[in-house]
Amino acid sequence: MSALNRYNDENALIGVKETPVGKSTKKAFDPQAFLAKVGAGKAILKFERSQHVFTQGDVADAVFYIQKGRVKLTVVSEQGKEAVVGILEPGQFFGEGCLNGHPLRIATATAVEECMITSISKEAMIHTVQSEPKFSELFMAYLLTRNSRIEEDLIDQLFNSSEKRLARLLLLLAHFGTEGTTQPILIDISQETLAEMIGTTRSRVSFFMNKFRKLGLISYNGKIEVHNSLLGAVLHEKPEIERDDDL
């Protein structure tokens, strides 16, 4: 037996596979593994409920990715009026404005429950987006989804009554349409926050919530549960969901 044949037979017995000539041995890039581990320019941070991730006016030098928990984004005007502009969930990025040349944060990010968040420096984020197509695809999908949501929110604010805006927000928070006829809202969200998110007063939200409950569109037992009938009322322009703000 030749030395070459003996070498091949021994390798076959112990399970060693030869790397084909010209093939790369680089391990396939896994975006989720990248986001879940500490590395160059990355850190895993934990935040308690009501703790700020960053505040409006802070230096913008990193992008964040939510692994666990939910984060509220708020903006304060020069007159001191605060508005909730979004509630973010696991699998979402935020703070990406630093990639677009924003030197300072334009909003405040606050944990609404215990959170585990990956912090990625601006430099590390740019390098990974440019060098790893799979990560670039993941980040691009997030940006496109967020852009569509912003457009839908703008249309909602321009053309729908505050009552219908509240109904749509409850459906979004409950992730309605996934399965079942009743979906709970898993976060503790106040009527003040709901009012800020749809641009109305807490008293109007309270009125509409009571109305929805009496109509059987939602139920409330510690947590808000959204019924399938609320989706039908919004989609089919039922008269119980007002189109005008004349109440």
| Cα separation, 12 vs 6, whole angstroms | 10
CATH value at residue 43: 2.60.120.10
List Cβ<8 Å contacts ≥24 apart for 156-164: 157/198, 157/199, 160/243, 161/241, 161/242, 161/243, 161/244, 161/245, 162/198, 162/199, 162/200, 162/204, 162/208, 162/245, 163/208, 163/211, 163/241, 163/242, 163/245, 163/247, 164/234, 164/241, 164/242, 164/243
pLDDT per residue rounded down to tens, the chain (247 residues):
444 444 344 444 334 444 455 555 567 899 999 999 999 999 999 999 999 999 999 999 999 999 999 999 999 999 998 999 999 999 999 999 999 989 999 999 999 999 999 999 999 999 999 999 999 999 999 999 999 999 999 999 899 999 999 999 999 999 876 555 678 898 889 999 999 999 999 999 999 999 999 999 999 887 899 998 888 887 766 556 654 444 4
Let me know whether 99 and 187 are in one domain: no
| Cα separation, 117 vs 112, whole angstroms | 13
Let me know whether 163 and 121 are in one domain: no
Count the domains in the chain: 2
Q: Is residue 60 part of a domain?
A: yes
Let me know whether 57 and 116 are in one domain: yes
Let me know whether 106 and 175 are in one domain: no
Please give the C-alpha separations between residue 138 and each of 101, 102, 128, 179, in angstroms, as whole numbers: 21, 22, 11, 25
Let me know whether 75 and 42 are in one domain: yes
CATH value at residue 200: 1.10.10.10
Range of the domain at 120: 31-132
Sign of CA dihedral 196, 199, 202, 208: negative
Q: Is residue 220 part of a domain?
A: yes
